[in-house]
Structure 1
Amino acid sequence: MSKFDEIRYFHDQEVNEKLQSIARDPMMKALMTFTFPGVDEQVWLEQFKDVHSISDFQHQFVAYAVRQILAKSSEGLTTSGFDKLDKNTSYLYISNHRDIVLDTSLLNLVLLEGGYVMTASAIGDNLVKRKFLNVLAKLNRNFLVQRGLSLRDQLTSSQVMSEYIKEQLLQENRSVWIAQREGRAKDGNDATQQGVLKMLAMAAGDQFLIDYFKTLKIVPISISYEYDPTDSLKMPQLLAQHREEEYVKGKNEDFTTILSGILGQKKRIHIHAGDVIDTELDDIAATIENKNKLLQAIVQLIDDSIIQNYKLWPTKYIAYDLINNTDTYSSHYTEQEKQLFIRRQEMRIDPSDPVSKEYFMAMYANPLVNKLKAEEK
């Protein structure tokens, strides 16, 4: 028994057996029919017999599924910044978080097609309660973040996860993807939770914190969708927060959100890989000694990179102008794009509710607002 068994993804020698255990699940049939339309079920069932590693599964099936998602629900994926990364080096990708499945799936497609080290990716265990989703996640190199624990168990779990991430990066030469915060940014504000860095720091041992973070090779990732396919699904929680009410998820809410993210229209998507955070850490170490303030300064570095490198699609400028009743950014969009966005908002929320309208617009406008704030500093 390894101390990582409760959270780790599958070892290659386990892959074929685990894949066969879900091969005839109706959800697998739906996934394969989507990925390989018109291909008889027996064809891919036969091909599953030759899958003996996560790499096999990702190359032969997952990459095709993600390309189909892009083809059917987007107008294409563009990237920037990856050319500065070394193809044989593992990195800790700390990313803004918009979509449960796609954020990491799209990044890994970029890494696969570019010949870079692909990631082990963190996913909340609350999202993979169903056996099919749990097995599929681990077949795709996801490791589990344990949710809903007592404070004491949470501390133990964080320690284990911190050590697991360290092992992946420094011993296995495996890149790691982790969101900058627990859960998705539903209001469009991308902010790193200091707790994420505290968790990562738990495995530093006696090593000076700054030196340890340098060995992790942190790369901030900015992912931007022109349309958020789950925008309307995020509204109930935002409105509950507005009313200062406790929000309780519906029984199948996470699953519905996953499907909507995969199948919903996204228009254009962009992923930017920021520079490795390295020499900036030395600058911080030279001026700050307090551990808490060190972590705050590193949080700021990550946030600045994610916000500054976030691709501002026309929808962000349109929402800003609509909120402020101005045409300040009208050169960044066409009248047709504006009318399409307004129509989308009217179809997805109750347009007669001013609070819903305000939150919907802010969700799109906030990345621009935050970039403007960052530029003022």
Structure 2
Amino acid sequence: MSQFDSIRPFYDAEANAAIRKIVDDPMLEAMMSFTFPTDTREHWKDLMVHTHSLRDFQVNFIYPGVQKVLEKSSEGLSTGGFEQLKSNTAYLFISNHRDIILDTSLLNSCLYENGLVLTTSAIGDNLIQKPFLHTLSKLNRNFAIKRGLQGRALLESSQMASAYIKKSLLSENRSVWTAQREGRTKDGNDATHRGVLKMLTLSEEGANGFGYFEKIKVVPISISYEYDPTDVLKMPEWLAKSRDEKYVKGENEDFLNLLRGIIGTKKRIHLQVNGVLDKEIAEISKMELSQPDKLSKLAECIDQKIWTGYKLWPSNYIAHDLLYGDNEYESFYTQDEKKSFEKRMNEKVNTKNEFLIKSFLAMYANPVNNQKNALSINSPASQL
């Protein structure tokens, strides 16, 4: 057995047998009916049972599915920065995280369209408890991050994930996607957790764990949804926090979030590549700082890149003006767009609950504040 068998995707040699196990699953049939509405069941099943690699599965079935999701539930995907990436090169993509499935699926679609190396992508094992989803995730080249661990078990799991990521990047020339923090950002206030960066260094031998980042190519990714398809599903957790209560997820909550992310309204989406951090990492490495402080510096750098790379939509500017009770950004949206946003909010949020209204608005407004802060820090005047 490989040391990574408990978390890794399927090998190509395992792909066909795995496909045959799920080819008659009702959930797969529903997915394929959505993806290929004019195709016969017999035709797509025949294509599927003759698929023998993860790439073919992703290109022939996952990629068309993502395109259909964009067609049915969005007003299109725009991109920027992919020209900065080189073919046949592995990157560690560190991204803000809005949607369980789409964030990484959209990135892989763009990498495929640009002739770049596809990723192996981290996913919490809490999201793939159902046998069908577990198999599908491994076919889609996901590797599992074990959740809910403590103490020694958590350390050992983190070490395994770190070693798998290092092997993927440096031995297999396979790009890796990971979120900048554990779980999705619930309030739109994206921040890179130093613990994620520390986990990445655990496989590096010697005292200078930060040196690992000089061996790989780190690329911050910004993803911006005009409408968050799961915004309303975050309200129970907001309420619990407002009451200083521990939030306990419902039995099928993760699965419902997954489905809502796929089929929920998104309007426009933008995915921005924010360059390779070779220069920034080299500069941090030279600083006379402790490793924890270097990780903090890198986290700050990734945050600045992600915040600068946001595509701010009318929804963000409208929410900001409504939250702060002013018209600072009124030139960035029309009154019709404002009315549409307010209508959507009033339909989804209990308007008698001021806390929920403010939380909903802050989720869309925080990216405006973060980008403003990032641009001010990077402005020529701030360097004087």
TM-score normalized by the length of structure 2:
0.97
Q: Note the aligned Cα RMSD (angstroms).
A: 1.0
Q: Which runs of 5+ in 1 are unaligned?
A: none
Q: Which segment is superposed worse, 201-210 or 268-277?
A: 201-210
- The residue correspondences of 1:1-377 to structure 2 (distance < 5 A) are 1-206=1-206, 208-377=208-377
Q: Hey, what's the Cα distance between the residues in 2 that align with 1:110 and 1:288? A: 39
SS of the residue corresponding to residue 75 of structure 2 reads: coil
Q: Hey, what's the Cα distance between the residues in 2 that align with 1:242 and 1:267? A: 30
SS of the residue corresponding to residue 79 of structure 1 reads: strand
Residues 219-261 of structure 1: per-residue CA shift (max 9 Å, x gap): 0000000000000001111221121111000111111111100
Conserved in 1, the CA contact under 8 Å of 2:92 and 2:217?
A: yes
Conserved in 1, the CA contact under 8 Å of 2:214 and 2:282?
A: no
Q: Hey, what's the Cα distance between the residues in 1 that align with 2:285 and 2:119? A: 29
Q: Which segment is superposed worse, 158-167 or 208-217?
A: 208-217
Q: Hey, what's the Cα distance between the residues in 2 that align with 1:27 and 1:280? A: 45
The structural deviation recorded for 1:375 is 3.2
Q: Hey, what's the Cα distance between the residues in 2 that align with 1:287 and 1:40? A: 61
Q: Hey, what's the Cα distance between the residues in 2 that align with 1:283 and 1:173? A: 25
Q: Hey, what's the Cα distance between the residues in 1 that align with 2:40 and 2:207? A: 55
Q: Which segment is superposed worse, 199-208 or 288-297?
A: 199-208
Q: Hey, what's the Cα distance between the residues in 1 that align with 2:94 and 2:229? A: 22
Q: Hey, what's the Cα distance between the residues in 1 that align with 2:252 and 2:302? A: 33
Residues 182-210 of structure 1: per-residue CA shift (max 9 Å, x gap): 01001001001111011001011127334
Conserved in 1, the CA contact under 8 Å of 2:210 and 2:295?
A: no
Conserved in 2, the CA contact under 8 Å of 1:210 and 1:282?
A: no
Q: Hey, what's the Cα distance between the residues in 1 that align with 2:209 and 2:331? A: 46
SS of the residue corresponding to residue 282 of structure 1 reads: helix
SS of the residue corresponding to residue 61 of structure 1 reads: helix
The structural deviation recorded for 1:40 is 1.7
SS of the residue corresponding to residue 76 of structure 1 reads: strand
The structural deviation recorded for 1:288 is 2.9
Q: Hey, what's the Cα distance between the residues in 2 that align with 1:105 and 1:141? A: 11
Structure 1 counterpart of 2:85, which letter? Answer: L
Runs of 4+ in 1 over 4 A off after TM superposition: none
Q: Hey, what's the Cα distance between the residues in 2 that align with 1:286 and 1:176? A: 26
Q: Hey, what's the Cα distance between the residues in 1 that align with 2:324 and 2:148? A: 40
Conserved in 1, the CA contact under 8 Å of 2:162 and 2:203?
A: yes
SS of the residue corresponding to residue 222 of structure 1 reads: strand
TM-score normalized by the length of structure 1:
0.98
Q: Hey, what's the Cα distance between the residues in 2 that align with 1:113 and 1:52? A: 21
Structure 2 counterpart of 1:173, which letter? Answer: N
Structure 2 counterpart of 1:156, which letter? Answer: E
Residue-pair matches, total:
377
Conserved in 1, the CA contact under 8 Å of 2:124 and 2:145?
A: yes
Q: Which segment is superposed worse, 129-138 or 278-287?
A: 278-287
Residues 19-47 of structure 1: per-residue CA shift (max 9 Å, x gap): 11011111001000000003221111111
Question: How much identity, in percent, do the aligned residues show?
Answer: 51
SS of the residue corresponding to residue 267 of structure 2 reads: coil
Q: Which runs of 5+ in 2 are unaligned?
A: 378-384
